[in-house]
Chains A and B, each alone.
Chain A
Amino acid sequence: MSLNKTLVDMDYLLNEAPREKHFITGAQAMAEAVKRASVDMAIAYPITPQSEVMHLVGDIYAQGHIKEYYRAEEELGTMSAIAGAARAGVRLFTATSGPGLLRGLEAIVSWPGHRVPCVLGILTRVVNAPLSIQPDNIEMAYMLHCGAVMLHAENQQDTFDYTLAAFAITEKVDVYIPVAVATEGFFVTHAKGYVNMMDEKYAYKEVDPYEAPVPAMDNEVPPARIQRDAPVQKSNFMSYLIHSVWQQEIWDSNRRAMKYIYQYLGGPIEVINPDADVFILASGCAAAQAREANRYAEEEGLSVGLIKVKAIRPFPKQEIRDALKNAKSVIIPEHNIIGWLASEVKSSIDNSGIVVDGPRVYGGMTLPVELIMTEIYTALGMETETLQA
């Protein structure tokens, strides 16, 4: 490549390389991260609101930052091709949204078990039907149980940092499962925000396909007869046992990712005002609104804490349990109807009675700060005028 990049490790790239402030969209932020990640190959398939990301990644490819790029036939084809290319030992990126994620899900949920390291952008959108292209992160609920590492970005800056960090985390020998970086469609992807970025001459060091817990299937690594993906063809106890320990290994790998989330992202949660009685806990775009509510509350002289959850998988059970051990109430605003984050929190803490289920918006609605404020007033025992959602 004639772009003359300075290849560095992820610690330097994220924490030391000098940065400059830019005003860009979330889609641009994700693509800018890809540009600095020495990605070998990206595979695209359109779906709103993701398309913008892969358009920009296509431009980056045309500029020579990525070696290979193509538009696949549909998402199952995309995700399958990622799995094929990963076995050949290259660094990979793709992104999708809502229905596209579900179409590709058969392949995606097999990535962890097949030890496919790659970064998947999830730019959330309602799952049809009725048809809609609007933001709603219910699709993330479908991803929770496949073993992939999942990060949830609050804004454009997070989208940039998490995507970059994801490339390092996914290739760690003791992790080596895919990392999904999710953020809300439109609210983040199509809105501009300030993003501090290092110069594009800096790029993450290139992938070493042999620094891996499984052999690359490139005819360069023993054993000669590789079959990485043991199809368990027999109905006997040993076959069940290999499958069960294999599944354990995927979740162990997921668990091991936590130390890298500390290393690169400063931990899986961010806590503001840790001594408060009432907390707002949120991830992704809802965390931005929660942050706003936290500021409102502060202006009104109310003591309200904020917990932003950055990592959805591995889920920071212990960290959340510690942060909430003295809390009297925790309000969990979400951009989906089922409240997957609230369920996760409830199953993580001993005092699950403190969880306020909501407020929730979905179908593309924005999350007015007032909805969160109403819950804060209720939690604090204050009289309120209710805002009808």
Chain B
Amino acid sequence: MSLRYMIPASKFKRYLPKDYVELVDYGPFGKKYSEVGVKNMGAYKELVEEHPMCSGCWMAYYIKIIFASLPNPENTVTIGTAGCGRLAISQAAVPFVYGNYGDQNAMASGMTRAFRLRFPDIQKDVITIAGDGGMMDIGFSMTMHAWFRREKFTTIMLDNETYGNTGGQESGMSMEGAVLKMSPKGKNFGKLPAMQLAITAGCVYVVKMSPTNINKASKAIRRAIFAARNLGPTFIHAYTSCNIEYSIPTPDVFADAKEKEKGRFAFEEYMTPEAKELFAQIESKTKREVS
């Protein structure tokens, strides 16, 4: 029973910082999704609490949703790369691998296969969470090839349409015409078609969204993880604005996300017939399990 690794030795429980004890007593480990999950955020000990992200950061909010949506947090490993996201991801109570630049999907390939060797009877979920630069620019080849190879893990791209962590440079996912650092005269080509690339490369479940509705966002994340376990690679392309580099006043961050939802981040969901069948099974069996 792998929960053992997070249960304090009884003798030491009173010597641990409360933070860690509460994580076991009131955290989501080993609990049903209906008891925890995004619907109950604020009512249980969440996996990400304090983090050093900017005030009003939409990415930090979405990262909290990711961790609140994990179907099996006690058997999950996240992998990320350089970028703002890792500042919050690394504070979560889930093992996090921070590798080199853009290598997250190659690392996840090795790790997923190794887990399947070592634990043929235990499902270990591997999730890569990286930005638009890490996924679609510097890590492009490793992202794509992991999908072509049908590696069974989930890829989540936090798209803020810029290199936020290095000071706001143009990325492959920036809009055409955007004036950013390293595109002083405006970007002269459009966003990379990440969703189409994922579908072409063989992802079995792909979602593009602006996560304004936490239940909808959570459902997509959980579907992506369930499908990755059995069927193949899955991909979520989420809008997570950079309110600093795009000068979005903190009170307007949500409105901006809403606006993008009406435009280029309109909700799109792709699934293979097998994935559709899988979701139907899971969602009818335990209706509360996924939604």
Question: Which A positions have Cβ atoms within 8 angstroms of B?
Answer: 40-41, 43, 67-68, 70, 72-74, 76-78, 80-90, 106-107, 110, 114, 209, 217-222, 224-229, 231, 233
Contact = CB atoms under 8 A, between A and B. Distances in A.
Contacts of A227: 90, 95-98
8 contacts: A84-B99, A84-B114, A85-B111, A209-B118, A219-B2, A227-B90, A228-B97, A229-B98
A90 B97 contact: no
B92 A77 contact: no
B114 A217 contact: no
Given A67-B117, A219-B76, A226-B95, A84 B2 contact: no
Given A80-B110, A88-B118, A217-B97, 5 more contacts: A76-B103, A84-B107, A219-B5, A225-B94, A227-B98
Contacts of A81: 106-107, 109-110
Given A89-B118, A218-B124, A83 B110 contact: yes
Interface string B1-40: 0100110000000000000100100000100000000000
Given A110-B100, A219-B76, A227-B98, A77 B111 contact: no
Contact of B114 (A74, A88, A224, A228): A88
Interface stretch (B141-149, B220-228, B239-247, B249-257): B141-149
Contact of B115 (A72, A78, A107, A218): A218
A77 B90 contact: no
A226 B110 contact: no
B110 A231 contact: no
B103 A73 contact: no
B71 to A, nearest CB: 14
Contacts of B97: 84, 87, 217, 227-229
Contacts of A220: 2, 5
**Contact count band on B:** 35 or more
Contacts of A233: 52, 87
A82 B100 CA distance: 12
Nearest to B111: A84
Contacts of B99: 80, 83-84, 107, 110, 114, 229
B79 interface: yes
Contact of B142 (A76, A209, A229): A76
B95 A89 contact: no
Contacts of A74: 141
Cβ-closest 10 pairs across A and B? A84-B107, A85-B110, A81-B110, A84-B110, A88-B114, A80-B103, A73-B145, A80-B106, A84-B111, A224-B6
Contacts of A217: 77, 95, 97, 111
Contacts of B189: none
B215 interface: no
A217 B90 CA distance: 14
Given A41-B114, A70-B149, A80-B142, A224 B107 contact: no
A224 B2 CA distance: 11
B93 interface: yes
Contacts of A67: 117
Contact of A219 (B75, B106, B110): B75
Given A67-B117, A77-B141, A77-B142, A72 B111 contact: no
Nearest to B142: A77
Given A73-B145, A219-B77, A219-B124, A84 B109 contact: yes
Contacts of A90: 114, 117-118
B101 interface: yes
B113 interface: yes
B113 A68 contact: yes
Contacts of B103: 76-77, 80, 83, 107
A72 B79 CA distance: 18
Contacts of A229: 97-99
B86 interface: yes
A229 to B, nearest CB: 5
Contacts of B145: 72-73, 77
B8 to A, nearest CB: 9
Most chain B CB within a 10 A radius of its CB, from A76, A224, A231: A224
B135 interface: no
Contacts of B117: 40-41, 67-68, 90
Interface string B269-289: 000000000000000000000
B159 interface: no
Interface in B179-216: none
A50 B74 CA distance: 41
A83 B95 CA distance: 15
Contacts of B217: none
Contacts of A114: 99
Nearest to B47: A225
A67 B114 CA distance: 9
Given A217-B77, A224-B6, A68 B114 contact: yes
